[in-house]
Amino acid sequence: MTDTHKILIVDDEPMNVKLFKAQLAKEGYDTYGASSGEEALTLVPHLNPDLILLDIMMPGIDGYEVVRRLKRDENCQDIPIILITALDGLSDKVVGLEAGADEFLNKPVNTAELKARVKSLLRLKQMQDQLKRQKSVGGIEVFWEPSGGLEPQLGLPQVLLVEDDEKDSRLIQSYLRGEPYGLKLIASGVEAISWARQEKIDVILLDILLPDIDGLEVCRYLKEHEETRNIQILMITAVPDLEVKVRGIELGADDYLIKPINIHELRVCLKSLIRKKAYLDNLQANYTRAMHSAITDRLTGLFNQAFFLYFLEKEVQRAIREENSLTVIMIDVDHFKDYNDSKGHLAGDEFLQNLGRLIRQNIREIDLAARYGGDEFAVILPNIQPEQAQAVAERIMNSFVPPLSGDSGKRITLSLGLATFPRDSLDSRQLLQCADQALYEAKRMGKNRTHTFTERPAVC
């Protein structure tokens, strides 16, 4: 199976490698082994694993140093790493997280917790890969280059503390006093969800036991919704219940703290999660910018022809399903070449930008306006009756104020052609041809007017 996840297990004890392989192979993963840090560093660039299970105490290069080197390599830094150790000291976790590790497990590793953490990290890795890969929308290819930088931008990172125990709340506040975070305090799960949806939050310190809905339910809700999915959730519990812990990881919790909370563990976990949130936000922002660039016309800010054609096809399919009508308006600028040649390209560009704004101001939010090419524009009006579409076209015409004529003395005007589905055509390609023919008729009849297609579909 070509999409099976690859997991690299690094441990100087062969039996440990064999044990982890057996546990993860049952989940359908492809597993590979390395017996030293040096071997892992050599193998990773060629294997390109989706996740690494890494022992800390190994001869030669230890696990900490392997993490540091991989996270400095831009080709390997996105690979999630789970550090596994027989040591039980808090300082080891602090060092591991500061080095860049994503998770930290103690031996003997509980199989259920291991599988939950592996699944959670692979889900995150898959999301990152999907954002970074080439995309396409209706045949429009989308590429982007990461802009770098993992530090939060525009102000302090925002931390939301959700804790109904006043004593624990005051303790955590004292631990974070002087730290470079904005801190908001609330005491209920419902309020936590509301706040996360309305405000910019980077990390939520979330107590599991809350008076209304518990922390697990809050976590589930936030991770299921796109606008809150990137918020990092640090669960807090008074009981080291493995079953609850595994359940939280499965729901998307990013880390756990057990009461009484250690100040150093809290601070290093927060620092790690804030960097992770900044990285996810950076990925999302890059993808959004790239997508916007791929489907919009740079000069006017309207959609481009490629996306217009994609959207038209989708809207025709929707109109068929819902038994609605839609109208396409083709708009052409009369005598634009004379104006552009006499006034110059800068003036011509400014005119097209202003016309794009005018069109956008005179259509509904559900409508789509595009620069179809050169001085030609197009509008899709979904779920509209022909007489209403005609009113939109007339509104665009009446709002247009011609600029001063070019040297030829020819006045710039607009010609518009309309065609309606399903009256004029039963598919998107023919509908566009009918609107284009109506535009041609408007220009033939003297320009500066609208014209609605009147022939049968077979003539298109």
- DSSP 8-state symbol, 74: T
CB atoms within 10 A of CB 32: 18
At residue 416, the 3 state secondary structure works out as: strand
Whole-structure pTM value: 0.60
How far out from the chain centre does Cα 101 lie?
24
Query: What b/e readout covers 200-235, taking b as 16+ CB neighbours within 10 angstroms?
Result: ebbbbbbbbebeeebbbbbbbbbbeeeebebbbbbb
Please list the residues that pair with 140 across neighbouring strands.
Answer: 137
- Dump pLDDT digits (tens) for 22-80: 999 889 999 999 999 999 999 999 999 999 999 999 999 999 999 999 999 988 988 99
At 359-386, the pLDDT tens digits run 999 999 899 999 999 999 999 999 999 9
Decide if 432 contacts 457 (C-beta within 8 A). no
Q: Percent of the chain having pLDDT more than 90?
A: 61
pLDDT at 105 over 90: no
Going from the N-terminus, what domains does the chain have, and what CATH number goes with each? Answer: 1-133 (3.40.50.2300), 145-289 (3.40.50.2300), 305-459 (3.30.70.270)
H runs (alpha helix) in 73-178? 90-99, 111-132, 166-176
Rounded CA-CA distance 83/106 in Å is 8
**pLDDT tens per residue, range 323-336:** 999 999 999 999 99
CB atoms within 10 A of CB 314: 14
